[in-house]
Amino acid sequence: MITRGIRVLCSEAEELVETWTAEQAREHMEDDDVVLVDIRDVRELQRDGVIPGAVHAPRGMLEFWVDPESPYARDVFQSGKRFVFFCAGGLRSALAARTVQEMGLAPVCHMAGGFAAWKKHEFPIEAKAASKK
């Protein structure tokens, strides 16, 4: 039996992780010290588009990409920059930001409302081409 559901986990994450609005993320879009990190599934990117300049780090690989000791580590996460995580609606990104914060990645935050909030404000979006196999 589940004793702590997704609502509790997301609520706890929101209390522990800094949250930015879509407007705040947009204000820092050109800031070299800020990295927007899209944790959505590749199918979501292809269907809905992407925020220009955002780094894609699929949620299923995030911890492996962040950990410098992992064979899957990505240099971007060793850069010392501020990371703004976002997903489709803001729930997965709250959980992801909490997890990487617990791993020691700092500074991190997540974008409330996710890609949907970005889109609602009509901020820039680019089409994502399907990857070739």
pLDDT for position 80: 93
Mean pLDDT in each 10-residue stretch from start to end of the chain (133 residues)? 91 94 96 97 95 95 97 95 97 96 96 97 87 51
The dotted CATH code for 16-120 is 3.40.250.10
So where are the chain's domains? Answer: 16-120
Q: Given this model, what pLDDT does residue 129 score?
A: 63
pLDDT for the residue 133: 47
The pLDDT assigned to 116 comes to 98
The strand order across the sheet containing 82-86 reads 18-20, 108-111, 82-86, 34-38, 55-56
The b/e string for 44-59 (b: 16+ C-beta within 10 A; e otherwise) is bbeeebbbeebeebeb
What is residue 26's predicted lDDT score, i.e. its pLDDT? 97
Residue-level pLDDT at 131: 57
